[in-house]
Amino acid sequence: MSKITYDAKDIQVLEGLDAVRLRPGMYIGTTGQNGLHHILWEIVDNAVDEAANGFCDKIEITLHQDGSVTVSDNGRGIPTDIHPQLGVSGVEVVFTQLHAGGKFNSDNYSYSGGLHGVGASVTNALSRWLEITVCRNGKEYFQRFESNPSQDGKKIESGIPTGPLKEVGKSAKHGTTVTFLADDRVFTHGVMMNRVTIEKRVKELAFLNKGIHFVVTDERVLDEPTHEFKYDGGLVDFVKDMNSNKVIIHQKVMTYYAKNETLEMEFAFQYTNGYSENLVSYVNNIPTPEGGTHETGWKTAMTRVFNEYARSKNLLKAKDDNLLGEDFREGITAVLSIKMKNVQFEGQTKSKLGNIEAKTACEALGQEGFSKVLSESVKDAETIIKKSIASAKVREAARKAKEVTRQKNSIFNSTLVGKLASCTGRDAKANELFIVEGDSAGGSAKQCRNRRFQAILPLKGKPLNAERKRIDQVLANEEIRSIISALDTSIGEDFNIDDLKYDKIIILSDADQDGAHIRAILLTFFYRYMKELITQGHVYIGMPPLYRISKRDKVAYAYDDEELASLVEQFGRGYELQRYKGLGEMNPSQLWDTTMNPETRTLMRVTLDDVSSTEKIVSDLMGDQVDPRKEYIIQHADFNRDVDKTFDEFN
């Protein structure tokens, strides 16, 4: 239980704020859009931690016209009294000391997402200015910080107080309000934050923190500037939202909450008629797209309990083998959320939980939870078990098919004969695989590539859409088998990233609707059966140009209409313009210069920042339901052509 008193003496100081400005990437990952939003999340996470520990029930985020952002909560308010060691207010300590906060012990926060303790100070360091208002103990306090050039002009002095924390009035309110303007000297691509990005994360936080009221207001727009998020159903509402456009096979969302001396655990799940597993997990509100020990324990418990239940109901006979975990998880949509102290993530990205004790705790609580929910929903439980048994039969058929093809040396050898142009280098960390649309473009790519580190795999036609097919059908597709063979990692439960032959897997398709569809199909396959390729940053999209503009001996390429307009202005009259309808129209030297040369090409790395949103987009665009796909295309796509015709091609 968190203690009620919370004073400046509770804030522990580890070190100062010196290095943030010099190397911002060490603290926020990038100075692009992800890093820009990261400094917002550091402030929002502090408010969410207040909510998660029972001290706050409303959080407001406001985007202002000038690019500044305000985050306000009705929590306890940051301590305003004087810190015993530093001699300044607790507010100033939090915003000027890198590792300072009340979260390094569990007296004030039982659970916290901001485990590195760098949040508010990093936001301050990377802002032009930051203002904070604290309402606490019947009083209102204010302080402003600025980042300005030093007197000698050689550096920027970051997050310097313009004065001490001041009492500015009386207030019956309680909470903290922070307004900051990200520094365009750091974020050189712009400081305007994306409302859609913010609302996706806020919606996720609202699901994970049952009953907390989030308000997002964008003063930059006139139409519906304010959106509110509040879900009294918590994870149950989360699962319903993810399954909103899927065909479910039982109505009730099964849910369970419990805690022991190690952690609190809550989960909810519901089955669809699909073939893929959709499990999203969180630790202290932080997404863990790469899973970890909590997922391992939860899955182990599920497999054991479901097998025992199936035998107790005589759905599995004595002669039958136990089902595997993947059988029970086919078609599941599940959210697992745990809260625990002293969290240890693997890597700075916090994407995988490493605490060994979490596995044991989740396995124990999971066994209790699964036993309870199955016993309370006998009819639904029988439906789930029967679906799992059917899944096991398909898996076994697929296994036998793979064994046969292996014996014939087809899946791992002959499918690549005459298709894959492998590279000569044996250093997987340096090698690249281009998956190229069509034989024509594949032929050009083979001619112009650097054979030492670039391999080419042309595809004939469109591969199978893995979202709509069973695993045995996926494996029967020749193009999919070629990809599996080339990567050498296997798929699904057998996937092993250590066997990956290439550091970069680059999808190279035409810049038209068919090319976009092929990219979507390939990304769906990787997401469903080789997700770790995406989470570890191995998947890229090649960006071929749309136009070639030339005038005498001057040649340039444009990747969109805006860039073309700029080049036309530069070239003046008398230029020649070529519009590329496909990769096959480029000769090998042009393809190398624009798309394959590491010195001049542009690649887009595929990332997985928001698992729940990604899951919904994949199921909407690639699943069986037609209406959500058409609705998404109408809302988001800009093909400069008839939407219905485009939809028909995509569908």
Question: In the chain, what are the domains?
Answer: 8-229 (3.30.565.10), 235-402 (3.30.230.10), 418-543+604-650 (3.40.50.670), 547-600 (3.30.1490.440)
As a whole number of angstroms, the distance between CA 115 and CA 341 comes to 10
Query: What number is the average pLDDT over the span 584-608?
Result: 89
β-strand pairing of 278-283 with 332-340 = parallel
According to the model, what pLDDT value does residue 141 have? Answer: 97
Residue 329: pLDDT above 50?
yes
Instruction: Take residue 107 and report the two structure tokens written for it.
Output: 């007296």
Contact 541, 529 (CB under 8 A): no
Of 181 and 612, the structure prediction assigns the larger pLDDT to 181
Residue 161: pLDDT above 70?
yes
Band of pLDDT at residue 34, cut at 50, 70 and 90 = confident
522-553 residue pLDDT tens: 999 999 889 889 988 999 999 888 899 999 88
CB neighbour list of residue 586: distance below 8 Å, 6 or more residues apart: 441, 444, 544, 580, 594, 595
Of 335 and 274, the structure prediction assigns the larger pLDDT to 335
CB neighbour list of residue 510: distance below 8 Å, 6 or more residues apart: 437, 438, 441, 544, 581, 582, 583
Residue 455: pLDDT above 80?
yes
According to the model, what pLDDT value does residue 409 have? Answer: 42
Band of pLDDT at residue 314, cut at 50, 70 and 90 = very high
Query: What number is the average pLDDT over the span 446-450?
Result: 94
Residue 647: pLDDT above 50?
no
- pTM for this predicted structure: 0.76
Task: State the Cα angle at 538 between 559 and 629, rounded to 5°.
Answer: 65
According to the model, what pLDDT value does residue 379 have? Answer: 95
Q: What is the radius of gyration, based on Cα positions, of the chain?
A: 27
According to the model, what pLDDT value does residue 643 have? Answer: 37
Instruction: Take residue 525 and report the two structure tokens written for it.
Output: 């396959």
Query: The sheet that has 576-579: what strands, in order across it?
Result: 554-558, 547-551, 576-579
Residue 637: pLDDT above 80?
no
Among 78-87, 576-585, 624-633, which is the least confidently predicted range?
624-633
- How many Cβ atoms are within 10 Å of 543's Cβ, its own excluded? 17
Residue 246: pLDDT above 50?
yes
Which of the residues are catalytic? 437, 510, 512, 514
In which region does residue 75 sit, left (phi positive, over 0), alpha (psi from -120 to 50) or beta (all else)? Answer: beta
221-241 residue pLDDT tens: 988 899 999 999 999 999 999
The separation between CA 423 and the C-alpha centre of its own chain, rounded to angstroms, equals 32
According to the model, what pLDDT value does residue 500 have? Answer: 93
According to the model, what pLDDT value does residue 235 have? Answer: 97
- How many Cβ atoms are within 10 Å of 622's Cβ, its own excluded? 21
Closest to 445 measured CA to CA, from 509, 503, 501, 504? 509
**Furthest CA-CA distance within the chain:** 83
Residue 3: pLDDT above 70?
no
As a whole number of angstroms, the distance between CA 437 and CA 426 comes to 25
- In terms of Cβ atoms closer than 10 Å to its own Cβ (0-12, 13-18, 19+), residue 56 is buried
Residue 109: pLDDT above 60?
no
Band of pLDDT at residue 106, cut at 50, 70 and 90 = low
Instruction: Take residue 40 and report the two structure tokens written for it.
Output: 């917002």
According to the model, what pLDDT value does residue 84 have? Answer: 87
Query: What number is the average pLDDT over the span 373-398?
Result: 91
